[in-house]
A and B are shown apart, each in its own frame.
Chain A
Amino acid sequence: MKENIILCIVTKLLIPLIILFALYVQFHGDYSPGGGFQAGVIFSSALILYRLIFGLEAGNEVIPRPVLKLFASLGVLLYAGTGVAALFMDNTFLNYSVLADTPIHGQHMGIILVELGVGFTVSSTMLLIFDSFAGRPLTTKDANTGEQDD
Chain B
Amino acid sequence: MIDIAISMVLLLFLIAMAVAILRLRDILAMAMMLGLYSLLMAGLFMVMDAPDVAFTEAAVGSGVSTVLLLVVLTLTKTRYEKDAVGFQGKPLIVVLLTGAALLYGVHDIALVGDIDAPAHQHVADRYIAEARNETGVPNMVTAVLASYRGFDTLGEVVVIFTAGVGVMLLLGSGTRRSRDKDV
Interface residues of B in 145-176 (CB under 8 A from A): 145-147, 150-151, 153-154, 156-158, 160-161, 163-164, 167-168, 171-176
Task: Tell me what chain A mostly uses at the interface: helix, strand, loop, or mixed.
Answer: helix
5 contacts between A and B (CB under 8 A): A31-B137, A48-B64, A65-B173, A65-B176, A79-B157
Minimal beta-carbon separation of B88 from chain A (angstroms): 23
**B56 sits at the interface (CB 8 A):** yes
Q: How far is the CA of A148 from the CA of B79 in the complex (A)?
A: 10
**B95 sits at the interface (CB 8 A):** no
Determine the chain B residues whose CB is within 8 A of the CB of A135 once the complex forms: 172-176, 178
**B76 sits at the interface (CB 8 A):** yes
Minimal beta-carbon separation of B127 from chain A (angstroms): 14
B157 with A131: CB separation less than 8 A = no
| Size range of the chain A interface in the assembly | 35 or more
Minimal beta-carbon separation of B148 from chain A (angstroms): 10
Minimal beta-carbon separation of B35 from chain A (angstroms): 12
Q: Please, which residue of chain A has its CB at the minimum distance from the CB of B61?
A: A41
A33 with B135: CB separation less than 8 A = no
Other-chain residue from A31, A103, A132 in contact with B138 (beta carbon distance below 8 A): A31
**A19 sits at the interface (CB 8 A):** no
